[in-house]
Amino acid sequence: MEELLLLALLGLGGAPIIRWFRRAFGSPEAVSGDSARALLRRRYAAGEITREQFEEMRQTLLRHDLAGEDRGAAGRAAAEPSQSWPR
């Protein structure tokens, strides 16, 4: 009975630790394209980058998304609006 209780406590305590390690030491490549675009928009809005830098980085992300993922036309249209943002 004590062994079962010990295993249960280890299981309950181990799951949060594993989740924390995954979040803390996750791969930077794990950032999704949507997150990268949101970060880019925030940096532009905060004045950290110029409009030219914003447009260049946005185009790079778009090319990377189109080359790296086969989402079909509907997925690409949803991922990147046709109009240039922000104006």
Question: Is the CB of residue 75 less than 8 Å from the CB of residue 34?
Answer: no
Reduced to 3 states, what is the DSSP secondary structure of residue 83? coil
Q: Are 78 and 37 in contact (CB under 8 A)?
A: no
**pLDDT digits over 37-70, tens only?**
999 999 999 999 999 999 999 999 998 888 776 5
Q: Does pLDDT of 6 surpass 60? A: yes
The reported pTM is 0.42
In this structure, what token pair is assigned to residue 39?
A: 């970060």
